[in-house]
Amino acid sequence: MPPTEAGPSPGAPSPARLIVDLGAIVANYRALAARAAPAATAAVVKADAYGLGAARVAPALARAGCASFFVAQLGEGVALRRALGPAPAIYVLNGLGSGEDGVFQANGLAPVLNDLGEIAAWSACARASGQRLAAILHFDTGMSRLGLGPAEASRLEAEPERVADLALDYVMSHLVVSEDADQPINAAQLAEFRARRAAWPLVRASLVNSSGIFLGPEYRFDLVRAGAALYGVNPLARRPNPQVGVVRLEAKILQIRAVDPPRSVGYGATFRVTRPTRIATVALGYADGFLRSLSNRGHAYCGDIRVPIVGRVSMDLLTLDVTPAPAARPGDWVELIGPHLPVDEVADAAGTNAYEVLVRLGPRPERVYVGDRAAP
Ligand SMILES: *Cc1c(COP(=O)(O)O)cnc(C)c1O
């Protein structure tokens, strides 16, 4: 994917960097694929592989044997096809928008068809081109977001000729609370999906995301769709993370100053020092996608020493109380996400989920890729 204007400029060292371990992503893929087998494991790389860079992440997964990829938007699919070449299947979850069929076809992309109108449009396109075009049929079993609802699904069952011109790769649905095995909605959605699926006995099936892989073999069908767990996010509520960490967000200390009472730190004077305090100013802020809700709540590591974020996270800067880290110096890198600070812990402190913490990381922190065996 082309660098954006907001990204680092060549020759100007970036004061913040996101180190992405492609080897760890591949290890997570292999662990999920081993658990899911004999179901195949697809990689979900929407939103630029959850902010980590689909142009690097997806080819590494393809080399590890991943043959199917999911994106959300058509533009993501076009960019992914360029990165992956012709072989892997690429499915677009948001479906077929009006007038988009030419772009889908030209790039060998398959839509996830979410209603009867999309089915009719893709079928017309198939007839016009004289090819049985690939697609996935999406049934809504409880998310109430995308997919054919019960009435449309029943109508399609009664009129299966509506899909006679298509090559249906899968029927699919999507779980609402798969991270929590104790929730009865999981079994209810499974039962509804089985009932829907029974009308399409010759078509393969796909129900679960990362978390759903851990609900048991009856949930896995023929294909699982793994996103977050590839990127080190914990797929399990209230249980230890079976995945390995993938990212490390680091930023440089610009200055360290002594601040004495009664002074405060940052905009809004939200943190007042109560004792002589060493404040480190770090070159990372919400313009980098580091969440402002971590003001006075998040942490950082100076080496092995945990220090609190004090005061507001501002656009380009945040401030740490480094009194407990007397060796910290300007020019040092501090860790904001990484081995000491898993992305799930950062998300808890920010009052959001790990997905949002990752996808918010904007283009400004330099992406540094490590662990790619095929790289020069
Ligand atoms: C995003 C998404 C996934 C991947 O979910 P994770 O929780 O990140 O594994 C799978 N299926 C659908 C339909 C999605 O939208």
Protein residue with its CA nearest to atom 13 in ligand 1:
174
Q: Is the CB of 227 under 6 A from ligand 1?
A: yes
pLDDT of residue 236: 97
- Please tell me if the CB atom of residue 44 comes closer than 6 angstroms to any atom of ligand 1: yes
* Location of structure tokens 């995301």: 209
Which residue's C-alpha comes closest to atom 3 of ligand 1? 209
Determine contact, residues 311/265, Cβ cutoff 8 Å: yes
Closest among 71, 60, 82, 68 to 1, alpha carbons compared: 82
What contacts 142, CB < 8 A, 6 or more positions away?
Answer: 175, 176, 185, 188, 189, 192
Cβ of 43 closer than 6 Å to ligand 1, yes or no, is: no
Q: Known catalytic residue: 46?
A: yes
For 173-231, how does the pLDDT look when each residue is reduced to its tens digit (9 = 90+)?
Answer: 999 999 999 999 999 999 999 999 999 999 999 999 999 999 999 999 999 999 999 99
Closest CA to 290 of 243, 349, 235: 349
Give me 125's structure tokens.
């396109």
pLDDT of residue 6: 65
CB of 173 within 8 A of CB of 193?
yes
Is the CB of residue 172 below 6 angstroms from any atom belonging to ligand 1? no
pTM: predicted TM-score of the whole model, two decimal places: 0.96
Q: Which ligand 1 atom is nearest residue 146's CA?
A: 13
Handedness of CA 188, 189, 194, 200 (dihedral sign): positive
Mutate to test the pocket of ligand 1, among 29, 50, 69, 209 (most ligand atoms within 8 A of CB): 209
Beta strand spans in 93-228 (E):
110-113, 133-138, 166-172, 204-206, 223-226
Q: Is residue 114 within 8 Å of residue 146, measured between CB atoms? A: yes
In the three-class reduction of DSSP (H, G, I as helix; E, B as strand; rest coil), residue 280 is classed as strand
Token pair for 75: 């533009």
User: From the CB of 196, is ligand 1 less than 6 Å away?
Assistant: no
Q: What is the per-residue pLDDT for 375?
A: 53
Query: Using an 8 Å Cβ cutoff, are 257 and 270 in contact?
Result: no
Contacts of 61 (CB under 8 A, 6+ apart): 25, 26, 29, 43, 45, 69, 230
Coil vs helix vs strand at 148: strand
- What 79-87 contacts at long range (C-beta under 8 Å, 24+ apart), as own/partner pairs, is 79/1, 79/54, 79/55, 80/45, 80/54, 81/107, 81/108, 81/109, 83/1, 83/54, 83/55, 83/58, 83/59, 84/58, 84/59, 87/62
3-class state of residue 373 by DSSP: coil
Q: Is 209 in the pocket of ligand 1 (CB under 6 A)?
A: yes
Catalytic residue among 29, 46, 301, 369: 46
pLDDT in tens, the chain (376 residues): 444 556 778 788 899 999 999 999 999 999 999 999 999 999 999 999 999 999 999 999 999 999 999 999 999 999 999 999 999 999 999 999 999 999 999 999 999 999 999 999 999 999 999 999 999 999 999 999 999 999 999 999 999 999 999 999 999 999 999 999 999 999 999 999 999 999 999 999 999 999 999 999 999 999 999 999 999 999 999 999 999 999 999 999 999 999 999 999 999 999 999 999 999 999 999 999 999 999 999 999 999 999 999 999 999 999 999 999 999 999 999 999 999 999 999 999 999 999 999 999 989 999 999 998 765 4
Query: Are the C-beta atoms of residues 357 and 347 closer than 8 Å to each other?
Result: yes
> Relative to the CA of 72, which ligand 1 atom is closest?
15
pLDDT at 12: 87
